[in-house]
Amino acid sequence: MAAILALPGLAPEGHASSYTVTAGGAAIGDAPSRFAEIGLPASHWEEKPQPSAAASSGGASSFGAKGMTSEARLKTEANLSALGARREGAAILVELPSDVLFDFDKSVIRAEARPALVRLAEVLAAMPKARMAITGHTDAMGADAYNQALSERRAVSVRAWLVGRGIAAGRLSAAGKGETMPVAPNANPDGRDDPAGRQRNRRVAFLIAPDG
């Protein structure tokens, strides 16, 4: 569950950005053992600048951000857009690939993943009433119990990292769902492995409740 994170830096002033997963470079981490046989290269993120709706219109926040200055709201919108956030009812959902956050079979945050987590910490700092549920997910490779434990360790690791950045522990919960909540098939209809689907399933979800 490894990948290379390419974060070229903050988007231009007044703009947000989103990330698209592309293929390129040599495989690392678990890629040789799990992907090499089909030649799937490692994934990395490339920033795709796009105007923030809030920044361009000056209107209400598209993520429901409130109780902050215009400058803070625009920065929060930019961070959420850069993280690929979307609204889930009254909540905000961010999903980051585990391949980006962690090396294969590990729960220690990769140095290359820290810029994305810094953005997340900045969002929480700007929304002091918000609470966030952190949930780890895996693909279906390996034993169920092992995947469950790994997903839990990873969620706890991210929580500890954010606490270390000054976010109150009481605002954050951490849980793991293992392989029980896939967002894509782990295998093709003919039973063959689906590496792209498994890659989507390896993720950490962050559900932010803005009003606590």
User: Is the pTM above the cut of 0.85?
Assistant: no
Q: Maximum CA pair distance of the chain?
A: 54
Domains identified in the chain and CATH numbers: 15-209 (3.30.1330.60)
7-28 tens-digit pLDDT: 444 333 334 344 444 444 433 3
Residue ranges of the chain whose pLDDT lies below 50? 1-43, 45-48, 50-57
Pairing status of strand 172-176 against strand 131-137: parallel
How confident is the model at residue 137, as a pLDDT?
98
* pLDDT score of 203: 97
Here the tokens at position 172 are 């954050």
* pLDDT at residue 62 in the model: 77
pLDDT of 65 reads 74
Of 155, 168, 96, nearest to 127 by C-alpha is 168
The CB density around residue 119, as the number of other CB atoms within 10 Å, is 21
Q: Which two tokens stand for residue 107?
A: 């729960």
* Sheet order of strands, 131-137 included: 86-88, 91-97, 203-209, 131-137, 172-176
What is the tens place of the pLDDT at every residue in 90-112?
A: 999 999 999 999 999 999 999 99
pLDDT at 49: 52
- pLDDT for res 41: 42
Q: What is the pLDDT of residue 4?
A: 39
Are the C-beta atoms of 124 and 150 separated by less than 8 Å?
no
Partner residues linked to 205 by β-bridges: 95, 135
